[in-house]
Chains A and B, each alone.
Chain A
Amino acid sequence: MVDLKEIIGLDLPDTELAEELAAFADIAAAIRRLRMLDLTEIHPVVIYDPTLSYRSRAS
């Protein structure tokens, strides 16, 4: 079985990882609430601009 630490890329001792996960609990709850929303039809506020590199070169 793949190790959780490998998936998240944090090479912490088991006890420390357990502490981090416990400390994350309140934040995880807030994110779980967000996951409950149905936003299927909503475009994320991430705009891909293919001209970006050309704008920077013009400066």
Chain B
Amino acid sequence: MSAEPEFSPIAELAPRLRAGSLSPVALCERILDRIHRYDSRLESYEHVSESALGQARRAEAEIRGGAWRGPLHGVPIAIKDNTLTADMPTTAGTRAPGIEFPLVDSAVAERLRAAGAVLIGKTRTHEFAWGTTTPPTRNPWREDRIPGGSSGGSGAALAAGLCLAATGSDTGGSVRIPASFCGVVGLKPTFGRISRRGIVPHSWSLDHPGPLTRSVADAAILLGVMAGYDPADSASRDTPVPDYAEAVAGGVSGLRVAVIRNHFFERNQPAVDQTVEAAIDWFAGEGARVHDVQLPSLEYGLGAIFAIELSSSTAYHDVSLRAGRSAGFAPDVRRLVQFGRFVTGADYLKAEQFRHVLMNDYARLFETADVVLGPTEPITAPPVGADIVALGPHRESALAATWRLTYPYNLTGLPAITLPCGFDDNGLPIGLQIAGRPFDEATVLRAAAAYEKAHAWHEQRPPN
């Protein structure tokens, strides 16, 4: 176990918090002190809670009184700043005048509070979650690099030991991209598994709340708390929530693993390919039945995700566009919000037809596989300000490159996790992505936990 609690997995801290050998108040003070010392450089927090210590004191009193609520009791957790909270303002990353959000708890905040978590602050998001760079937040591994996004504040804060876990939302990869770039675990569960109530909408049929954590076991703990039916969310599914903590105990022998060779291995940095191939070899060496597949329909995915995401975000921001409030958006976001006007209704519905094709293709794939392995990102974290990414002879926009390998699981709603699987020559983390069948997060977590246990990449820490 790491000597410093801020770099320890919650699964290791919870027994100490429960036994009284670690004080929630001391833990909260330590995290607040670290935020004070380091966040002026990283700018991962939009707001730090004034009530954090009060929450920690309550947790400490409850635990001492024998009313332990579970493994998140007394644990400081950060909330993405597009997720409503009753005691902290929400900005969704915008500075545009005339846009305000109510002080009420989202479903995610409600569930974390009920589990005894200390909601320590709001982490920065790319404005309206529409981008993958999250300015002005920096990557703790190298401060001249982006943290990814849109949940970039959550990724950076967690990697730097400024919280014990964080929440995110993932519309085209916004949990997994920053998790991969910041060397932490990020889980996008199945669409409908976690309620979207109280998350500022970006694209209704693509938005997935999910946790960013230091370990796979911690992702299992947070998912267990955050998941569940919410009749107030039309997409929420009344499906049993299994004991994910049990799921992470199994191995991978006999697991059927598919590797999609097109799309996911076409234009990656060499270090990404080498590292992910080594991870795939490890699964085969442990007795998993690994086989290669092709999914040709993926070549149409970019048009589909753009058609859906652009038209949805434009519909959501329509009033702001007409009222001129979008003039206060950052230029990149204003442009994307305006672009939705160029997408026709027929394009949108064709994209929704295409989704059905892609979902059918994945369903066929899962007839002979339990999980799909591949890279999370084709690249490691690019430099701050790089709009174009060069991959060999190819030049690609940073947005197109960073969500290329993540958006297939938003279009299909399938559960997908990223976990660290190595580093490039610049010392930047590389993420391994594991996806599974709908509502089978347990198998995804099992595969990820087995790999993590054998490699312990998650124990690496960024320089101070």
Contact = CB atoms under 8 A, between A and B. Distances in A.
B394 to A, nearest CB: 12
Contacts of B341: 8-10
A1 interface: no
A33 B296 CA distance: 13
Contact of A35 (B231, B232, B347, B357): B347
A33 B307 CA distance: 12
Contacts of B355: 44-45
Contacts of A44: 349-350, 352-353, 355-356
Q: Is the interface of A mostly helix, strand, loop or mixed?
A: helix
Interface in A1-41: 8-10, 12, 20-21, 23-24, 26-28, 30-35, 37, 39
A43 B356 contact: yes
A49 B234 CA distance: 9
B232 A56 contact: yes
A8 B311 CA distance: 12
Contact of B400 (A24, A26, A31, A32): A26
Q: Is the interface of B mostly helix, strand, loop or mixed?
A: helix
A33 B305 CA distance: 13
A8 B342 contact: yes
B335 interface: yes
Contacts of B338: 10, 12, 20
Given A32-B303, A55-B231, A20 B335 contact: yes
Indicate the size class of the contact surface on chain B: 20 to 34
Interface in B384-414: 397, 400
Given A10-B341, A34-B303, A35-B350, A45 B356 contact: yes
A23 B336 CA distance: 10
Contacts of A35: 303, 347, 350
Contacts of B349: 44, 46
A24 B347 CA distance: 15
A39 B357 contact: yes
B231 A34 contact: no
A39 B350 contact: yes
B347 A31 contact: yes
Contact of A59 (B231, B339, B400): B231
A30 B350 CA distance: 13
Interface in B294-339: 299-300, 302-304, 306-307, 310, 321-322, 335, 338-339
Choose among B205, B302, B349, B397 the residue with the greatest number of A CB atoms under 10 Å from its CB.
B302
B302 A30 contact: yes
Given A20-B335, A35-B347, A55 B234 contact: yes
A34 B342 contact: no
Contacts of A21: 342
Nearest to A35: B350
Contact of B307 (A31, A39, A43, A59): A31
A15 to B, nearest CB: 14
A24 B339 contact: yes
B300 A33 contact: yes
Contact of A45 (B310, B343, B359): B359
Contacts of B68: none
Nearest to B332: A23
B354 interface: yes
Contacts of B216: none
A59 B234 CA distance: 11
Contacts of B231: 55-56, 58-59
Nearest to A49: B234
A26 B397 contact: yes
A42 B358 CA distance: 11
14 contacts: A9-B322, A23-B339, A24-B342, A30-B306, A33-B303, A34-B350, A35-B303, A42-B354, A44-B353, A45-B352, A45-B356, A45-B359, A49-B234, A55-B231
Interface of B: 205, 230-232, 234, 299-300, 302-304, 306-307, 310, 321-322, 335, 338-339, 341-343, 347, 349-357, 359, 397, 400
Given A9-B322, A45-B356, A59-B230, 20 more contacts: A12-B338, A20-B335, A20-B339, A20-B342, A26-B397, A27-B306, A31-B303, A32-B303, A33-B299, A34-B347, A37-B357, A39-B354, A43-B353, A44-B349, A44-B350, A46-B349, A52-B234, A56-B234, A59-B231, A59-B232
